[in-house]
Every structure is written in structure tokens, then in C-alpha cells.
């Protein structure tokens, strides 16, 4: 009997203590005081501030708080419950405390006593009525469509949310929160499809789910994050399937055009001693290079490298046979389709972007012998030893002694550093947008970009300007893009870096008395000084002026049919392209006219 009583005590007493302790902690928590100063913040921000200052955690549905109004709190050593009551009185939400959890729920909506009739007109940014727009009541299956004049009328039943959703293919979704009015005028904006939803081929934009080819798309944001030098430098850091070869011979020469491979190397070699160079001369390009399409027109590698990256909207890489089906045999190595940014919105704004680029030489991998070490290695290898020729041996002995004497005097020339510098370049972009809410939009873009290479006096400078105009008249859109690029490039007059790597450290670059450059690095052997070429007016300079004007006409006789006509002029060539296609439903394929 005593054992049974003791056992009950061992079980019941700890349980009573736990319940008493929990009740005490709950009561204590409700009396917890906080100090808080918040002005016009969201409910989620308010929850975070309370959780940081107390042991409480909030539990809620996003749908309950996403539409809650901004709240303000001013509390100093105030009980938590008073703070909560004050905040929730500003909203249509309520709460319940359970232990250290605060559960948020919505207050029961007041039942409306009568139905509401809402009517209105739906138009596009040009003021034209939009027929066939779906007007839905969220959370229900009830809705109506706008008529041929873009008008609608819908009945809101008691208890239904005072919100209407407007949806139409090709237009951005629009949500209307009803107020005291019964009539509304809605303006829907044209939809800007996400790049993940469509594939831009340069001829027709197709739904991603209906495109069967191998394709990779890079957005403008991804390009900028990967680098701001040029499109090629960014692409090779993003897509591993794109191979952009490092030109080890050219090094960091800013004027060296990159080599690019998408589908691997073809059977055409590109070695200097083989047929690839002949093919390059005949076709004006490297045989393994893909085809580049800029805004629907073929362009060159140099033009892509020099274009302003701020103008790029997307880069689409077509990798398989689908590219050849669209562009023919030129696309055998793949296609790189570049689309520039189109006019968006109706705001007037001016944007400036500036950046600085630094090119620094890295010579840490060159572990070369100094003057004393190099001379000793040559002696051990028998450079200064003649076999059975006394006269020749005397000459070699004198050459060795002369070089050793210079070394003893402190001569140790580090030739690798002579033609190098830290290249500091800059890039400036000015963008001016002018928009009209009805029909006319325009944007002007001006860019100055100068890249200084690590070889002294090498640089590449681009000055470009673009004017993009768009005009809408009923179902017809006219668009014109005019671009001018002025390029000036200059290679270093200091010669090839390989020449400096072959120079011996016991040779002089400058006269020790006057400090002037020596014509000969070593007079006795008549070894020329590669630095001397930079003083005699050596010049490796080139310039070009590129002008392009692309004109587009787009006609939509119905919502699902679009007719495009394009005309492009690029000095000194002109290109005309016409096409008829229906890009919205992927069942139809492009039909050239």
C-alpha cells in the first residue's frame, strides 16, 4: 500500500508542477513588456520586430496579411497584449495566443446587405477598346467577358470579395480593388513575356514547351552579373557549352577578336600552316565560328564585341540542327541570337551608368633566372667554350668576361616588365526614355567605352549612339532602330611580349649615363632592343564607322495573327526580310512570303 501511494506521488507531483509552471510562464508572457518605434511598416515587418524582442512566434497564412494595411507603433515598456491590440485594431485581422505562439486569423467579413453592380471600360495603352477580356471574381468561378466595345458589367454578390481580376492573352494581368464607385476605366498593358516562357530564334518567338531544339537563353541581368566588358566575356562565365578560346598569343590585347565554338570544332583546321587560314580569308570568318543575329539581321563578331551591353535584352544560343533549319548552312556551327531592349512603359526618365575597368599584368608564373644565374647556366652548358679553335675561344672568353663585368656592376634587367602597365579604362552610358501613354515612345542611348590593355599604348575606344522609336496606330506598330558606332583601336608599338621574354637579363635597355633607350641591347652581338621600336613612330592603328538602320512594321489583323515586315540597312550592305507568322499558337510554323 505504501509503495503504491509513493508511486502515485512520483507521477502526479511532477505533472502538477509542470502544468503550474506552464501556466505561470503563459501568464508571465502575456504581461511581457516591449519598447518599439515603427512608422508605416508592413505586418510581416511588425511580426519580425516582436519575434526579435520576445520569445513569441507568429503563425499566419500569407493570404491573410498580404493585403493588410501599413501599421505604426509607438510603445515604451508597454505590455505586449496592449501593443497587439493597438496594431490589430488598425487591420481586419485578429489573433489568438497559445503558449508562445500567436496565431493570426481574419475577422469575419461583414455580410453585405445587397448586391453591387459594377461596370466599366477596358482599353489598351493607346486607348483602343479590348474585347474578350475575362473579368473574374477571385475565389469563385463567376465572371464575364468584355464586349466588342471593351465594356463589361458584373454583379458582386453579398459576401464576395470586392476585387476583380482582368485577364487577356498578350496583356498583363490587372487587379482592381473596388471602392465606392460603380463605374471604372481600366487600362491594360502589353505583356512582356518572361524569357523562360518563350524561345527567341530571331525569326519567330516560339513557346518554350513547343520548341524541340537545344537552346540556352541568357538574360541581360545574368550578363551584367558575369561582367561588363563585352558579351563574349560574360557568356563564357555563364554557359559551359559555349567555348570561347583564350588567345595566348595575343594575351590581353583589347583588339584581339575572340574565337567562339558552340558545337565543337569542325573538320576545317585553323592552324596557320593549314587550310583553315585560306578558308578564313575566303569567307571572312573562322570556319568554326557560329552565326550571329542581332535584332533579326546577321552581324559580325566585331560588331557584337563592340556593342553596349546595357542595350542587350537577351542572348539565345541555338545549338543543334534546329538552327540550320532556320538559317541554312551558315548556321552549321550554331546561332547566337541577340535581342536589344524594347521600349517599355510610359515613363520619362534619364539613366546614367558608369564603370571603371582595371587590367593588371600577372607575372607570377614566370620564374626566370636572373643575370648571374643565366650566365652561369650558359657557362656550364658550354656556350663559352670553343672546340679546337683558339681564336674563337678568345672571343668567347672576352664576351663572357664583358658580361660578367656588367653583372658585377649591378646589371640585371627584368625585360618582362618593360612593355607592361596597369591599364585603367572607363565606360559611360546615358539613357533617355520618352514615353507617351497613347502611341509614341522613344529612347536614345549614348555610350563611351575605352579599354586600355596591359601592353603600353594599346587601347580600344568605342563611341556609340542608338535611337529607338515606336509608334502605334490602331492595330499597326511601326518601329525604327538606328545605331551608329565609331571605333578606334591601336595595338602597342612596343612589339610582341614574346620578344621581351627571349631577352637576356645581362643586356642593357637604357644607357646608364643618359637614361636614353639603347638602339642595341648588346653592341658586340648586335642584338636589337625591342623597346627602341616605340620611339621611331611605329603605329598599329585602325578605325571604322558602322551605321545600321532597322525598320519594322507589325500588323495584327486579329488577336492570334501577326504579320511582320522588316527592312534593314547596314553600311555598306542592305538587307530586306519579310515574313508572315503566327507566334502565339505553336501549331503554326513560319511561312515566308
| Chain segment 391-426, per-residue pLDDT in tens | 889 989 999 999 999 999 999 999 988 889 998 988
SS3 call for 463 = strand
CA neighbours closer than 13 Å in the CB half-sphere of residue 488: 7
SS3 call for 554 = strand
At which residue does the C-alpha cell 533549319 appear?
325
Nearest C-alpha neighbor of 443 from the set 431, 459, 425, 457: 431
| All cell numbers assigned to 293 | 543575329
- Percent of the chain whose predicted confidence (pLDDT) is above 90: 9
CB atoms within 10 A of CB 273: 7
List the strands of the sheet with 93-98, edge to edge: 57-59, 101-106, 93-98
Q: Is the pLDDT of residue 208 over 50?
A: no
Predicted local distance difference test score (pLDDT) of residue 589:
33
* Contact status, residue 68 vs residue 95, Cβ threshold 8 Å: no
Predicted local distance difference test score (pLDDT) of residue 588:
33
* Contact status, residue 270 vs residue 276, Cβ threshold 8 Å: yes
Cis previous bond, 572, omega within 30: yes
Nearest C-alpha neighbor of 575 from the set 549, 553, 557: 549
CA distances from 192 to 116, 300, 560 (A): 34, 28, 16
DSSP lists the bridge partners of residue 581 as 562
Q: How many angstroms separate the CA atoms of 19 and 27, rounded?
A: 12
Average predicted confidence (pLDDT) for the chain: 75
CA neighbours closer than 13 Å in the CB half-sphere of residue 136: 11
Predicted local distance difference test score (pLDDT) of residue 283:
40
| Chain segment 261-300, per-residue pLDDT in tens | 665 554 444 444 443 344 444 344 456 678 888 877 777 7
| Chain segment 162-198, per-residue pLDDT in tens | 889 998 877 888 999 887 778 899 998 877 654 445 5
Q: Is the pLDDT of residue 137 over 80?
A: yes
- Select the highest-mean-pLDDT range: 132-146, 435-449, 577-591: 132-146
381 class by beta-carbon count within 10 Å (0-12 exposed, 13-18 middle, 19+ buried): exposed
Prediction pTM value: 0.54
Predicted local distance difference test score (pLDDT) of residue 61:
77
Nearest C-alpha neighbor of 528 from the set 390, 415, 447: 415
CB atoms within 10 A of CB 47: 19
| Chain segment 323-357, per-residue pLDDT in tens | 666 777 776 777 888 888 766 655 677 888 888 88
* Contact status, residue 136 vs residue 163, Cβ threshold 8 Å: no
Q: How many angstroms separate the CA atoms of 457 and 491, rounded?
A: 7
Higher pLDDT, 212 or 98: 98
Higher pLDDT, 329 or 564: 564
SS3 call for 350 = strand
* Contact status, residue 508 vs residue 520, Cβ threshold 8 Å: no
Q: How many angstroms separate the CA atoms of 174 and 185, rounded?
A: 12
| All cell numbers assigned to 67 | 493585403
The angle formed by the CA atoms of residues 79, 81 and 84, to the nearest 5 degrees, is: 115
> In sequence order, what are the residues at sequence separation of 6 or more whose Cβ sits closer than 8 angstroms to the Cβ of residue 572?
none
> In sequence order, what are the residues at sequence separation of 6 or more whose Cβ sits closer than 8 angstroms to the Cβ of residue 305?
230, 231, 232, 257, 258
Give counts: helices (H), strands (E), the chain.
12, 31
Q: What is the dihedral of CA 16, 19, 22, 27, to 10 degrees?
A: -100
136 class by beta-carbon count within 10 Å (0-12 exposed, 13-18 middle, 19+ buried): middle
DSSP string, 65-130: HTTPPPEEEEEEEEEHHHHHHHHHTTSSEEEEEETTEEEEEEPPPPPPSS-EEEEEEEE-TTS-B-
Predicted local distance difference test score (pLDDT) of residue 376:
93
Amino acid at each position: 500500500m505504501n509503495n503504491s501511494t509513493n508511486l502515485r506521488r512520483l507521477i502526479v507531483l511532477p505533472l502538477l508542477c509542470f502544468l503550474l509552471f506552464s501556466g505561470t510562464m503563459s501568464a508571465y508572457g502575456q504581461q511581457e513588456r516591449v519598447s518599439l518605434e515603427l512608422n508605416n511598416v508592413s505586418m510581416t515587418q511588425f511580426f519580425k520586430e516582436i519575434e526579435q524582442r520576445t520569445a513569441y512566434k507568429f503563425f499566419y497564412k500569407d493570404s491573410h496579411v498580404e493585403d493588410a494595411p501599413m501599421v505604426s507603433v509607438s510603445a515604451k515598456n508597454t505590455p505586449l497584449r496592449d501593443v497587439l491590440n493597438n496594431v490589430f485594431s488598425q487591420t481586419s485581422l485578429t489573433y489568438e495566443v497559445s503558449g508562445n505562439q500567436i496565431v493570426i486569423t481574419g475577422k469575419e467579413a461583414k455580410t453585405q446587405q445587397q448586391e453591387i453592380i459594377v461596370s466599366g471600360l477596358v482599353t489598351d495603352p493607346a486607348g483602343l477598346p479590348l474585347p474578350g477580356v475575362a473579368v473574374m471574381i477571385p475565389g469563385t468561378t463567376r465572371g464575364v467577358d468584355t464586349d466588342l466595345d471593351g465594356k463589361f458589367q458584373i454583379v458582386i454578390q453579398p459576401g464576395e470579395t470586392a476585387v476583380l481580376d482582368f485577364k487577356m492573352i498578350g496583356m498583363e494581368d490587372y487587379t482592381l480593388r473596388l471602392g465606392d464607385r460603380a463605374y471604372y476605366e481600366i487600362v491594360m498593358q502589353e505583356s512582356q513575356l518572361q524569357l523562360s516562357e518563350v524561345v527567341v530564334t530571331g525569326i519567330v518567338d516560339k513557346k518554350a514547351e513547343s520548341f524541340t531544339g537545344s537552346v540556352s537563353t541568357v538574360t541581360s541581368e545574368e550578363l551584367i552579373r558575369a561582367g561588363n566588358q563585352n558579351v563574349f566575356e560574360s557568356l563564357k562565365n555563364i554557359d559551359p557549352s559555349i567555348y570561347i578560346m583564350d588567345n595566348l598569343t595575343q594575351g590581353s590585347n583589347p583588339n584581339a577578336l575572340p574565337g567562339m565554338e558552340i558545337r565543337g570544332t569542325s573538320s576545317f583546321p585553323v592552324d596557320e600552316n593549314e587550310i583553315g587560314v585560306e578558308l578564313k580569308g575566303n569567307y571572312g570568318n573562322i570556319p568554326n565560328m557560329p552565326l550571329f543575329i542581332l535584332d533579326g539581321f546577321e552581324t559580325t563578331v566585331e560588331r557584337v564585341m563592340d556593342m553596349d551591353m546595357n542595350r542587350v535584352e537577351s542572348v539565345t544560343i541555338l545549338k543543334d540542327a534546329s538552327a540550320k533549319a532556320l538559317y541554312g548552312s551558315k548556321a552549321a556551327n550554331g546561332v547566337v541570337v541577340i535581342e536589344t531592349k524594347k521600349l517599355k512603359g510610359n515613363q520619362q526618365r534619364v539613366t546614367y551608368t558608369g564603370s571603371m575597368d582595371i587590367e593588371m599584368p600577372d607575372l607570377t608564373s614566370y620564374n626566370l633566372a636572373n643575370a648571374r644565374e643565366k650566365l652561369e647556366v650558359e657557362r656550364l652548358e658550354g656556350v663559352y667554350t670553343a672546340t679546337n679553335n683558339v681564336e674563337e675561344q678568345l672571343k668567347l672568353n672576352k664576351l663572357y668576361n664583358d658580361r660578367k663585368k656588367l653583372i658585377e656592376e649591378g646589371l640585371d634587367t627584368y625585360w618582362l616588365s618593360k612593355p607592361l602597365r596597369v591599364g585603367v579604362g572607363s565606360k559611360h552610358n546615358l539613357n533617355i526614355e520618352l514615353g507617351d501613354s497613347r502611341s509614341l515612345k522613344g529612347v536614345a542611348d549614348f555610350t563611351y567605352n575605352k579599354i586600355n590593355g596591359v601592353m603600353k599604348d594599346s587601347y580600344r575606344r568605342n563611341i556609340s549612339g542608338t535611337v529607338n522609336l515606336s509608334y502605334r496606330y490602331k492595330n499597326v506598330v511601326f518601329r525604327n532602330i538606328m545605331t551608329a558606332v565609331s571605333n578606334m583601336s591601336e595595338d602597342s608599338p612596343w612589339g610582341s611580349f614574346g620578344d621581351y621574354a627571349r631577352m637576356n637579363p645581362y643586356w642593357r635597355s637604357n644607357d646608364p649615363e643618359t637614361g636614353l633607350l639603347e638602339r642595341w641591347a648588346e653592341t658586340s652581338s648586335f642584338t636589337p632592343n625591342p623597346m627602341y621600336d616605340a620611339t621611331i613612330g611605329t603605329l598599329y592603328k585602325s578605325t571604322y564607322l558602322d551605321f545600321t538602320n532597322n525598320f519594322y512594321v507589325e500588323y495584327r489583323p486579329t488577336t492570334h495573327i501577326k504579320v511582320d515586315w522588316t527592312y534593314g540597312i547596314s553600311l555598306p550592305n542592305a538587307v530586306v526580310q519579310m515574313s508572315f507568322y503566327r507566334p502565339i499558337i505553336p501549331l503554326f510554323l513560319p511561312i515566308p512570303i
